[in-house]
Amino acid sequence: MKHHFVPDGVFENGRNPREAAVVVEAVLEHIRRHPDESLGVVTLNFEQRELVEELLDSKLRDDPAAIAYQEKMTGGLESLFIKNLENVQGDERDVIFISTTYGADVRGNQYQRFGPINGPSGHRRLNVLFTRSKKRTARTGILQQADDGVDLPINDFELSVGTVLKENGYEIVPQVGVAGFFIDLGVKHPAKAGTFLLGIECDGASYHSGRSARDRDRLRQEILENLRWKIHRVWSTDWFKGRDGEIKKMLRHIDSLLEHDPAYKVHKEKANRIERLRQQFAQQVFRSRRIRERGCDFRIA
């Protein structure tokens, strides 16, 4: 992900004209330099989208390279699009340009007003936005650390998998945000506070038929693994047809990770030592009680 700062941008009346002009020039440059890569432009509000669209239309009409690009991409069903954050849900392109839009006004005042991003589901809108790109995306991630997730899994399949993990003594966090994505279930490390041992991805049946979804998830998994995440996938069809086998496979994966984890070995040895001391103490208490009971019996006799 590349960031291009626009030092003279000004946000007024829902628009940032200078930034819009920079975005349009970037689109034209992309068309000339990367004619084989599809492109989408997303603005963070409706007003900025209209402005970018107006400026770009006037430029594209007279540019032979741009006309050829649009004809080529339209034939491949990946035409250039310009959309605002609220209506970009189902679209994917090789490269996504984002007009962040908001900034200081002419008096230099910077207000913390970012339209739909300020809403309760704003972070999810951003997640959708950043995952629209199939080819160019963040290598090191948007978030340096995983966030705290949400309270509950978002569907019955994830709930079923999460319940099994909890029944086996593992603490889970649904919808863990990391590297601009959401991992369905994060399994907390039993010996390292604040870290995750494994990410569980719960994939539905429709995933099998979506080539772009599979391609995006391969890149997504590569990014997460580069950030040292371990990922285990569970397919809904396999889960509901052969639940026991899938449970064993998942738990074996977790056991394998813990078996080679130095921190967990130390944790386990400490837990075993505490348990031995507890048992020794219990035996001593039991013997002392028996001696006292026998002493009472002897005196009564």
Residue given tokens 């013997």 in the structure block: 287
pLDDT at res. 134:
65
Residues 227 and 243 both lie in one domain: yes
Residues 109 and 63 both lie in one domain: yes
pLDDT, tens only, 203-256? 865 444 444 455 556 777 777 887 788 999 999 889 989 999 999 999 999 999
Longest CA pairwise span in the chain (Å): 116
- Separation of alpha carbons 16 and 45, rounded Å: 11
CB contact at 8 A, 12 and 105: yes
CB contact at 8 A, 47 and 14: yes
Instruction: Give the range of the structural domain holding residue 74, as residue numbers without chain letter.
Output: 17-130
Tell me if 189 is assigned to some domain. yes
Q: Region 151-157: what's the mean pLDDT?
A: 69
Q: How many domains does the chain have?
A: 3
Is the model more confident about 268 or about 188?
A: 188
pLDDT, tens only, 159-214? 899 999 999 999 999 888 765 667 889 999 988 877 899 999 988 654 444 444 55
Tell me if 202 is assigned to some domain. yes
- Which residues, listed in sequence order, are joined to residue 235 by a DSSP beta bridge? 203
Residues 182 and 243 both lie in one domain: yes
pLDDT, tens only, 78-101? 678 888 887 776 677 888 898 988
Tell me if 117 is assigned to some domain. yes
Antiparallel, parallel or unpaired: β 181-188 and 196-203: antiparallel
Tell me if 38 is assigned to some domain. yes
Q: What is the CATH number of the domain that holds 227?
A: 3.40.960.10
- Separation of alpha carbons 154 and 162, rounded Å: 11
pTM (predicted TM-score): 0.47
Residues 168 and 214 both lie in one domain: yes
Residues 255 and 242 both lie in one domain: yes
Residues 192 and 236 both lie in one domain: yes
Tell me if 12 is assigned to some domain. no
Residues 281 and 206 both lie in one domain: no
CB atoms within 10 A of CB 284: 10
Both tokens of residue 26?
A: 């970037």
Residues 171 and 228 both lie in one domain: yes
Tell me if 114 is assigned to some domain. yes
How distant, in Å, are the alpha carbons of 25, 238, 278, 285 from that of 4?
Answer: 12, 45, 61, 71
Residues 205 and 120 both lie in one domain: no
Residues 119 and 184 both lie in one domain: no
Residues 268 and 254 both lie in one domain: no
- CB within 8 A of 45, min separation 6: which ones? 14, 84, 85, 101, 115, 116
Tell me if 251 is assigned to some domain. yes
- Separation of alpha carbons 30 and 66, rounded Å: 10
Helix, strand, or coil (residue 295) = helix
* Domain boundary residue, one of 130, 164, 182: 130
Residues 196 and 289 both lie in one domain: no
Tell me if 29 is assigned to some domain. yes
- CB within 8 A of 56, min separation 6: which ones? 24, 27, 41, 82
Q: Tell me what the pLDDT averaged over the chain comes to.
A: 79
Long-range CB contacts for residues 58-62, cutoff 8 Å, separation at least 24 = 59/24, 59/28
